Amino acid sequence: MTRSKQPNLSAREMLAVKTVADYGSFNAAAITLNISQPVLTRTIQRVEAQLGITLFDRNTRSVEITEAGKEFVALSERVLNDMQIYMQAIEQRSDQKRGQVVISSVMSVACTVLPKIIARYKQSHPGVDLYIYEGVHGNVIENVRSSVADFGLTYLDDISPMFEEKPLSTEAFHVVLSKGHPLQKRKQVAWEALKNEQLISLPADSRTRRLIDATATTSGFQLRHNITVTQFTSMMQFVADGVGIAIVPEGSLAGALNIGLATRPLVQPKVSRVLGLVTLKERSHSIFAQEMMRQIEMDWKVLRE
């Protein structure tokens, strides 16, 4: 039996492909890589010959990445990121105090409990640089999948088998009201009581919004989304100004209470989601990322209470 020839690609070649994909231009990529455009063109052609596929469709006016090219770029990002982690590990042997951790988090965590945990972590790891990417669930999952982030903090419903997940807490949904709103008189609020209310909401493609809409539909009505925002802080300010009400997961309540808003648990039905850590299976992590995840697990319950 003969073995198929394995492509022999360097990190420099993978970076060249990724840079062309990022910029959509050979000229811009060549400038970024500090090489001439003919050298870059030959590099891409050599990679395509090694792989036996076309990475880019190009003409005199534009460069379009192919589907095969997209798959190769995703793989290259993971390989380059793992190489960076490996190089960091080597550096850590000579300097155990410096490093980097990249976290991708849903907004309800990034703007509440995460800063407190990071403050504790930095006390014992002052030389570690932390990068926080905050967004909706889909952004978090994609950042972890592509190895842009070391790990994610997000909701654990419908997680792909390619990920490892570790539950941290369960969050129920609450309604946020301006002071003096009629619903404030109730200890709990049924979903049906919201059918005539104007809502300040997250984008329609967010997991939180889809779950909220699905719950309302199951209850026999459609919610009236008056204003759409992308940040919980903006949402709370609109509620404070009396523009409408908001439905948020429990972890976001601190932001509402801090500016004097009223909150009530939503019932009939009571809806909740599990929050947790998400990592890519079989991916190695730097000692700093491992210690950050341990810090989150240790501090989570105390800080969420």
Radius of gyration of the chain (CA): 24
Average pLDDT over the chain reads 89
Residue 55 CB neighbour total at 10 angstroms: 22
The reported pLDDT for the residue numbered 90 is 67
CA distance 47 to 150: 28
The per-residue pLDDT for range 102-125, each reduced to its tens digit, is 999 988 888 888 999 999 999 989
Model confidence at 304, in pLDDT bands (50, 70, 90)?
low
Model confidence at 185, in pLDDT bands (50, 70, 90)?
very high
The per-residue pLDDT for range 193-228, each reduced to its tens digit, is 999 999 999 988 888 899 999 999 999 999 999 999
Contact, 137 vs 249, CB < 8 A?
no
- Domains, the chain, in order of start with CATH, read 11-76 (1.10.10.10), 96-169+274-304 (3.40.190.10), 170-272 (3.40.190.290)
- Taking alpha carbons only, the member of 74, 16, 71 closest to residue 43 is 16
The reported pLDDT for the residue numbered 257 is 85
CA distance 144 to 156: 13
Q: Is the dihedral of CA 60, 65, 68, 74 positive or negative?
A: positive
Contact, 131 vs 257, CB < 8 A?
no
Between 67-94 and 287-304, two packed helices, what is the crossing angle to 10 degrees?
90
Which H/E stretch holds residue 159? Answer: none
The reported pLDDT for the residue numbered 84 is 81
The reported pLDDT for the residue numbered 110 is 85
| Mean local confidence (pLDDT), 165-193 | 94
